[in-house]
Structure 1
Amino acid sequence: MHSPEIPTAAPPESRALSRRELNKAATRQAITEAALGLLRTRGPGNFTVEDIADDAGISRRTFFNYFNSTEAAIAAVTFGFLDKALQQFRLRPAGEPFLESARAALVELADPMTVAPMAELYSLGQSNPQLSRSELEAWDHCTAEIIAAARERFGAGVELDELYLRALAGSVISCGKAAMDVWLARCGGSLTPESLSTLRQLLIDSMSLLGSGFARPAAAQAVPQAARPAAPSTATPSPDRL
């Protein structure tokens, strides 16, 4: 199943970051944490760029070096998780199937708390249209990043079908959203370590389903003969054959 591993140059994420890059990452993190903190305490639409800047300990001008609105700062919480997953994805062997690498990247994010900010924002957005729009922006960003990662994986010299790329990215995003929805229904948005561990596993399992072509679990297929409905009198195609 595995193709031979293709030697490649070390990905950008593997090199040591400069002090300037570390400072920029820390500032960006401070902004997103301040935005999420204000979202918790004041609710959506009840704080400004200046409020976020004050809580993050930066100037208004510095804020706009990173984000163009409060909504963009909030959306960054969601795709911050994706950035971590993409970093792990780019460390996978170049010859490994794309979806297998995607699943392995999620497995590497072993600490369930890595999904906590994304999970919290997703829960808050369920009852607020403004946050839902921010979530949609974040998922759109994720789609673009997955397409970029796919192009990197297959190489600059390979011409890829645009439909393939967009269908692949859209499928990954849809599976991620499905995992989030199931988690919310199952755990009610709880942010306990156990609940977040469940979310992480659902995200991993969703990639497994996509990679298998959504093959039905064996347990779902093993229906006792006596429990099966009688065959219809007219020939009707089985759902499994559609």
Structure 2
Amino acid sequence: MPSPPLSEAGAAAPSRRELNKAATRQAITESAVGLLRARGPGNFTVEDIAEAAGISRRTFFNYFSSTEAALASATHRFLDKALQQFRLRPSDEPILESARAALVELADPMTVAPLAELYSLGQSNPQLNRSELEAWDHCTAEIIDAARARFGQDAGSAIDELYLRALAGSVISCGKAAMDVWFARCKGSLSPESLSTLRQLLIDSMSLLGSGFASPAAAPAAIPTAAPSPDRF
């Protein structure tokens, strides 16, 4: 019996069923975000999202528990992309450098647009803000798993759970701090310049953590990043 095809990362390629499920999940998320933009928080229902996505109400609940959970999945998607890049980094690279480099690899500032938009809207909507915080908490668990896998590659090495959990919590806290500074500085603007600022703040927050929070003057210089293509913005 032939082996399943492999993806570029060496893992088994997703099945058609998995691809269909991913497409449905994305359609629900995009429909929810579209309604959020058109009507504002709290002004649409699960039925509205299901109709926009071309699915039944029952199918919606197979994927999400609420409208807020569907919206927060856009944040999940950004954080998952960053984690995917982290897992591709060399196993002997310092773990915080890997976290920083993973964000650098998300070269297009527009990748942070859903994260920025939902964060901004969550500031005036407690329910949406709660779902956003749950997405970050989910990412904390994912970082712990990714770091455990990284350290587990060293034969015979003991994995310090306190280190793993303190590391993951620190990474998430720095990410949230970057979001707070961005919102205060850019007032939630989704312009290309504002999104570039947010992306750089996220990268810089990992640099601060990696430097042990040395004074700003002594903090390491940012990794050079490719300038966005002029015809994209």
Question: Shorter chain as normaliser: what TM range?
Answer: 0.7 to 0.9
**Deviation string, structure 1 residues 189-217 (Cα, Å, up to 9, x no partner):** 11111110111011001001100101113
* 1:202 lines up with 2:201 in the alignment: yes
Q: Aligned runs of 1:1-242 on 2, under 5 Å? A: 16-155=13-152, 158-218=157-217
| Structure 1 counterpart of 2:17, one-letter code | R
Report the 3-state secondary structure (helix = DSSP H, G, I; strand = E; otherwise coil) of the residue aligned with 2:169.
helix
Q: Which has the larger radius of gyration?
A: 1
Going from structure 1 to structure 2, the CA distance change for 1:190 and 1:184 (only over 3 Å counts) comes to same
Going from structure 1 to structure 2, the CA distance change for 1:158 and 1:29 (only over 3 Å counts) comes to farther
RMSD across aligned positions (CA)? 2.0
Distance 1:199 1:184 in 2: 9
| Structure 2 counterpart of 1:180, one-letter code | M
Fraction of identical pairs, as percent: 84
- Report the more deviating stretch, 183-192 or 151-160: 151-160
Distance 2:11 2:97 in 1: 21
Displacement, 1:163? 1.7
- Report the more deviating stretch, 155-164 or 196-205: 155-164
Contact 1:143-1:173 at 8 Å conserved across structures:
yes
Displacement, 1:22? 2.4
The aligned counterpart of 2:223 is: none
| Structure 2 counterpart of 1:189, one-letter code | G
Going from structure 1 to structure 2, the CA distance change for 1:50 and 1:159 (only over 3 Å counts) comes to farther
| Structure 2 counterpart of 1:193, one-letter code | P
- Give structure 1 stretches of 5+ with no counterpart: 1-9, 221-242
Distance 1:161 1:88 in 2: 24
Distance 2:113 2:157 in 1: 37
- Report the more deviating stretch, 105-114 or 17-26: 17-26
Distance 1:58 1:158 in 2: 49
Going from structure 1 to structure 2, the CA distance change for 1:195 and 1:14 (only over 3 Å counts) comes to farther
- Give structure 2 stretches of 5+ with no counterpart: 1-6, 220-233
| Structure 2 counterpart of 1:144, one-letter code | A
Going from structure 1 to structure 2, the CA distance change for 1:166 and 1:122 (only over 3 Å counts) comes to same
Report the 3-state secondary structure (helix = DSSP H, G, I; strand = E; otherwise coil) of the residue aligned with 2:101.
helix
Scaled by the length of structure 1, the TM-score of the pair is: 0.81
- Report the more deviating stretch, 200-209 or 33-42: 33-42
Contact 1:34-1:56 at 8 Å conserved across structures:
yes
Contact 2:28-2:60 at 8 Å conserved across structures:
yes
